[in-house]
Amino acid sequence: MSQSVDSEGQEQVEGSVQTAIASRVDGGVLWIARHWLALFNVLVAFYLLLPLAAPALARAGLTTPASLIYSVYSATCHQLPERSYFLFGERPFYSLASLETSGLAEGKGLFERRAFRGNQTTGYKIAVCQRDVAIYGSVVLAGLLFGMLRGRVRMISFKFYLLLLIPIAVDGLSQLFGLRESNWWLRTFTGALFGGASVWLAYPYLEAAMGDVVRAEEMRLR
């Protein structure tokens, strides 16, 4: 008899724990659904802030954290100095020829060039290229704009989205295969167009989906 009572009590405790866990999970899902846009904006902004912090750290002599950031982002970006923005130097960007007169050894290959992070003359490069800076920056700005215009932004078709990707495809692929060399403003423009178009395509769909989650959870909790 005593063993049966203990077993029932244990089952009640386990049931209460499972209910509490489920309630916390549901609450977390509901919070994310309500605040997904702010969460996305913060995450993308943080992802962009670290590459911007790398040259500041390098200039301050904090080479270890700067090197860590450069190394982490090297997995997602080529980091070629002639296609990157620089901070704290004579200019915000440089051609390969001008870099070779300011500290980068002449005739270096791709891997040697991407390892060049800058010096006191050139300043220090941002840990992602010009195009990536424009992409992530435009995603943040477009996300903030979407928040201001929430409910008034119409979804675009996937065909129109592909049309908006033509500039970055032409500029990036022609440069990749050596047909031509792009420049800083084309990389920036095409990157910003890609980032903004991606937000325009994805965020209205996410807003609708998260709204459905909020309504479903609120109805269930009633």
pLDDT in tens, 16-62: 545 545 556 667 788 999 999 999 999 999 999 999 999 999 999 99
d(CA 200, CA 126): 27
d(CA 212, CA 144): 22
Answer yes or no: is pLDDT of 11 > 80: no
pLDDT at 153: 83
* Residue 41 forms part of a structural domain: yes
- Compare 167 and 26 and report the one with higher pLDDT: 167
pLDDT at 222: 66
* Residue 114 forms part of a structural domain: yes
Residue 193: domain span: 19-221
* Residue 9 forms part of a structural domain: no
pLDDT at 2: 54
Residue among 26, 18, 37, 39 at smallest CA distance from 218: 26
pLDDT category, 221, cuts 50, 70, 90? low
* Residue 8 forms part of a structural domain: no
* Residue 14 forms part of a structural domain: no
* Helix segments in the chain, DSSP class H: 2-59, 63-73, 96-99, 110-114, 130-148, 158-164, 166-176, 184-221
- Token pair 């962009």 is at which residue? 48
* Residue 3 forms part of a structural domain: no
* Residue 128 forms part of a structural domain: yes
Phi, psi of 32 (to 5 degrees): -65, -40
pLDDT in tens, 106-158: 989 999 999 999 999 999 999 999 999 999 999 999 999 999 998 788 889 99
Which secondary structure element, helix H or strand E, spans residue 106, and what is its range? none
* Residue 189 forms part of a structural domain: yes
Look at the chain and report how many structural domains it folds into: 1
pLDDT in tens, 175-207: 989 899 999 999 999 999 999 999 999 999 999
